[in-house]
Amino acid sequence: MTTKPDRNLALELVRATEAAAIAAGRWMGRNNKEAGDQAAVDAMRQLLDTVDMDGVVVIGEGEKDEAPMLFNGEEVGSGNGPQTDIAVDPIDGTRLLAQGRPGSLAVLAMAPRGTMFNPGPMVYMNKWIVGADAKGAVDIDAPIKDNLARIAKAKGKAVNDLTVMMLDRDRHAGMAQDVRDAGARLRLIMDGDVAGGLLAAMPDKAVDVLIGIGGTPEGVTTACAIRALDGEMLGRLWARNDEETVAANEQGYDLDEVLTTERLVSSQDTFFVCTGVTTGDLVPGVNYTGSGVTTDSLCMRGKSGTVRYIRAIHTVEKLRELGAEGA
């Protein structure tokens, strides 16, 4: 019988994202995506094993033959405690980190065993994400103009006061023009749609909605945070080519299904944590000082709807404990 989490594991998981951010942050602007990501993976894995849980990575760094650690299906944690599904994104925004740009994060999410959607071969999905004040306003099959009008009405503002966030991709050219034609403000981001989704769902941030085609693994991870924020996420799997369509059909995926927040993670008892690597709109990045390092993190729990901001000051001794002293 599956044991459901009964404590706020986010407050334990944050040590793993802190370690990943500290290790990866020293690769900022050094134009080496792989090294920065590997530093984060190594540090995150070490700290995850200190958490009392029986975890299985559902959303990971790839299959076992492509990733040395934190691969799909890997067991993490002490082996004791609640049985959980784990989603890891040691660096959301590896290119942002490598190029020294804002907004890269170290990310972890968790839910009870068997409750996270497994995207299988489907790398991308079309997403709409809004906060609690616009919950129920989006129809994924409706024109963008109509959805933006409904979101604006729910928020009590004009469409031309809305801020829409979207990944800057060629595939979004038509969507971007639809947003402009509707009269809304458009903010294009280079990478990092986990952060973008949180910005759209959090009431104190200056983003009203995130739309567009982004990563399916990132969508599942974000859904764990949306549970805590009482926002709404709607998605649909998006095949890049005929091969992905065939693979999806063979494995039983319905490409027409609307993926709700509840479909992406069926339990309310979710945990989401992220730590800033490079400073962005969501949280500040890692700051190295003469005596240690400062990190800023977000910790969320779906069951209680609690969102915590945590600023941690790590001394040199603490860094040694985290195994994150340097690159």
pLDDT on residue 315: 87
Domain boundaries along the sequence of the chain: 8-116+269-322, 124-264
Options 3.30.540.10, 3.30.420.80, 3.20.20.140, 1.10.10.10; CATH of 8-116+269-322: 3.30.540.10
Are the folds of 8-116+269-322 and 124-264 the same? no
pLDDT of amino acid 290: 86
Binding residues: 37, 61, 89, 92-94, 124, 169-171, 191-193, 215, 218
3-state secondary structure the chain: CCCCCCCCCHHHHHHHHHHHHHHHHCCCCCCCHHHHHHHHHHHHHHHHCCCCCEEEEEECCCCCCCCCCCCCCCEECCCCCCEEEEEEEEEECHHHHHCCCCCCEEEEEEEECCCECCCCCCCEEEEEEECHHHCCCCCCCCCHHHHHHHHHHHHCCCHHHCEEEEECCHHHHHHHHHHHHHCCEEEEECCCHHHHHHHHHCCCCCCCEEEEEEEHHHHHHHHHHHHHHCCEEEEEEECCCHHHHHHHHHCCCCCCCCEEHHHHECCCCCEEEEEECCCCCCCCCCEECCCEEEEEEEEEECCCCEEEEEEEEEEHHHHHHHCCCCC
Report mean pLDDT in 10-residue bins for the chain, 327 residues: 64 93 97 95 92 93 61 90 94 96 97 95 96 98 98 98 98 98 98 95 96 95 97 97 95 97 97 97 95 95 94 78 49
Which residues are part of a known binding site for Mn(2+)?
37, 61, 89, 92, 218
Kindly report the pTM of this predicted structure.
Answer: 0.92
Task: Give the model's pLDDT for residue 64.
Answer: 46
Q: What confidence score (pLDDT) does residue 302 get? A: 95
pLDDT value at position 323?
54
The CATH number for 124-264, chosen from 3.40.190.90, 3.80.30.20, 4.10.490.10, 3.60.21.10, is: 3.40.190.90
Q: pLDDT value at position 326?
A: 41
Residues belonging to the binding site for substrate are 92-94, 124, 169-171, 191-193, 215
